[in-house]
Amino acid sequence: MDSSYFMPTRVIIGDDCIFSNRALLKDLGEKALIVSGKSSAKANGSLADMARALEANGQSSFLYDSVMSNPTVDCIYEAAEAVKREGCDFVVGLGGGSPLDAAKGAAVLALNPVEKSGLFSAAFTRALPIVAVPTTAGTGSEVTPTAVLTNHAAKTKTSLKFPALFPRFAFLDAKYTLGLSRATTINTAVDALTHAVEGMLSRTAGALTDTLAKESVAVVAGCFGALSGDRELDMGIRQKLLYAAMLAGMVIANTGTNVVHSMGYSLTYHRNIDHGRANGLIFAEFLRAIEQKEKNSDSKRIPVILSCLKVRSPDEFAGILDGLFGKKETFTAAELEQYAEQASKARSIANGIFRFEKAELLDIFKKSIG
Ligand code: NAP
Ligand code: ZN
């Protein structure tokens, strides 16, 4: 059994884990740049908890709270300016994947001045220490070496991916996610699911990533009932989703994503559809396509994935996703043609166990949202 796995982030899970473990932050320096979105970090208590921990340590901080969803290249340059101007020694991301990724971008740019035009072709080996506090349960960015950015020059989303971008610490306190709307909770949970499943369908999947992925899929699947109901999502469900999202992040930290993410980026870039929903809209059809390809191959991953999902077929899974997502957006033939073209050129599409030609991608798009 050949396998290798690398994830250097120290993960701390639990109620009040930032304050209880504040001593860990002391070695990172005197001043932090705290990176967040406009409002959620203030509302969910994560900003106050981080500020209290830093203050108790005698450390200071500056808040950069201008991260938008799907952060842009300009946003990370602005945050990096704040790091330098304020003389910060480390960067703390509080929020969903967007602030966490922006924090990573700022941490890397602070040590590596590079022109915007050269950002995605540069190789970065150093970044300031990064601390991640996820307040959505989806991206797993707290344990990945990746920052996904809106790349207007290429009209899509493009990733920076270097070991230096692994956060030093990830603090997972599910109480910050209690106020997430049901729609965002569903979108982000499905994002985590796509990470785990794409990881299992990656050319670089191994025994270790498979173990993490299977557990992640099973935990999210165990939450489908609660997600599709109308009862308030309690702390127990929140903890499970945050845990499963982190496990799925540990998977893609090593396997990367592939077909579904390559396709979903266009829906987000061109139509502003939330990242997790964008992936989820095409997810079931993608599994059907893999099931077809596996009929002529030695690969037999779909039965394993379906068993973790506790469904008998991709059709049954499609029914669950339809129930979670409600009415789907509609797209013109020209839009889908453009998205298939773009996805076929995405860097990560070749990470999957099967090659997908543009016509096959278009077919998945048409059957999902045509
Ligand atoms: P997000 O864009 O970070 O946040 C979505 C919305 O949720 C924002 O309006 C945010 O408000 C709000 N929000 C966040 N936490 C909340 C809370 N606890 N309570 C109430 N509202 C809250 O969404 P996301 O799905 O977590 O992240 C998506 C981004 O991550 C995309 O750019 C995607 O490409 C990227 N991603 C990265 C990785 C990786 O490995 N790095 C993996 C997958 C996806 P505020 O703006 O006020 O905070
Ligand atoms: Zn994702």
Ligand 1 atom 35: the closest Cα is on which residue?
97
Asked if 233 and 288 count as a contact pair (C-beta separation under 8 A), the reply is no
Structure tokens belonging to residue 17: 């884990």
Q: What is the pTM of this model?
A: 0.98
Ligand 1 pocket check: which of 46, 136, 149 to mutate, most ligand atoms within 8 Å of Cβ? 136
Angle at 67 between CA 268 and CA 244, to 5 degrees: 65
Is 347 strand, coil or helix?
Answer: helix
144 in contact with ligand 1, CB cutoff 6 A: yes
Structure tokens belonging to residue 76: 């990370």
**CB within 8 A of 243, min separation 6: which ones?**
13, 172, 219
**CB within 8 A of 94, min separation 6: which ones?**
34, 35, 36, 41, 46, 47, 50, 133, 135
Ligand 1 atom 32: the closest Cα is on which residue?
70
**Segment 136-164, tens digit of pLDDT:** 999 999 999 999 999 999 889 999 999 99
Band of pLDDT at residue 259, cut at 50, 70 and 90: very high
Give the closest residue to 90 by CA, choosing from 98, 135, 82: 82
Distance (angstroms) between ligand 1 centre and the Cα of 76 equals: 15
- For the residues 210-214, what does the mean pLDDT come to? 98
- For the residues 339-358, what does the mean pLDDT come to? 96
Contacts 24+ apart (CB under 8 A), 240-243: 241/137, 241/174, 241/177, 241/185, 241/188, 241/189, 241/192, 242/13, 242/134, 242/137, 242/172, 242/174, 242/177, 243/13, 243/172, 243/219
Distance (angstroms) between ligand 2 centre and the Cα of 280 equals: 10
Reduced 3-state DSSP string for 293-331? HHHCCCCCCHHHHHHHHCCCCHHHHHHHHHHHHCCCCCC
Atom of ligand 1 nearest to the CA of 159: 41
**Segment 233-243, tens digit of pLDDT:** 999 999 999 99
Predicted pLDDT of residue 296? 94
**Segment 302-335, tens digit of pLDDT:** 999 999 999 999 999 999 999 999 999 999 999 9
Predicted pLDDT of residue 293? 98
- For the residues 62-73, what does the mean pLDDT come to? 98
Tokens 């903890």 locate to 239
Distance (angstroms) between ligand 2 centre and the Cα of 194 equals: 7
Is 278 strand, coil or helix?
Answer: helix
Ligand 1 atom 48: the closest Cα is on which residue?
37
Structure tokens belonging to residue 363: 């077919």
Instruction: Give the length of the chain.
Output: 370
Distance (angstroms) between ligand 1 centre and the Cα of 294 equals: 34
Whether 1 has a pLDDT exceeding 90, the answer reads: no
Environment class of residue 118 by beta-carbon count within 10 Å: exposed (0-12), middle (13-18) or buried (19+)?
Answer: exposed
297 in contact with ligand 1, CB cutoff 6 A: no
- Tell me the C-alpha to C-alpha distance, in Å, between residue 328 and each of 65, 205, 280, 284, 334: 32, 31, 10, 13, 18
Band of pLDDT at residue 2, cut at 50, 70 and 90: confident
69 in contact with ligand 1, CB cutoff 6 A: yes
Structure tokens belonging to residue 205: 């999947």
Alpha-helix runs per DSSP H in the chain: 17-20, 40-43, 46-57, 73-86, 97-111, 182-200, 207-221, 224-228, 235-255, 259-271, 275-295, 302-309, 314-325, 333-344, 358-369
Distance (angstroms) between ligand 1 centre and the Cα of 97 equals: 4
Distance (angstroms) between ligand 1 centre and the Cα of 357 equals: 31
Distance (angstroms) between ligand 2 centre and the Cα of 282 equals: 13
Distance (angstroms) between ligand 1 centre and the Cα of 99 equals: 7
Band of pLDDT at residue 74, cut at 50, 70 and 90: very high
Query: Which residues is 41 bridged to in the sheet?
Result: none
136 in contact with ligand 1, CB cutoff 6 A: yes
Band of pLDDT at residue 3, cut at 50, 70 and 90: confident
Ligand 1 pocket check: which of 178, 275, 351 to mutate, most ligand atoms within 8 Å of Cβ? 275
Percent of the chain past pLDDT 90, that is, above it, reads 98
279 in contact with ligand 1, CB cutoff 6 A: no
Band of pLDDT at residue 48, cut at 50, 70 and 90: very high
**CB within 8 A of 234, min separation 6: which ones?**
none
**Segment 85-128, tens digit of pLDDT:** 999 999 999 999 999 999 999 999 999 999 999 999 999 999 99
Ligand 1 pocket check: which of 36, 40, 261, 263 to mutate, most ligand atoms within 8 Å of Cβ? 40
**CB within 8 A of 295, min separation 6: which ones?**
none
**Segment 260-277, tens digit of pLDDT:** 999 999 999 999 999 999
215 in contact with ligand 1, CB cutoff 6 A: no
Distance (angstroms) between ligand 2 centre and the Cα of 220 equals: 15
37 in contact with ligand 1, CB cutoff 6 A: yes
* Neighbour count for residue 302 (Cβ, 10 Å): 21
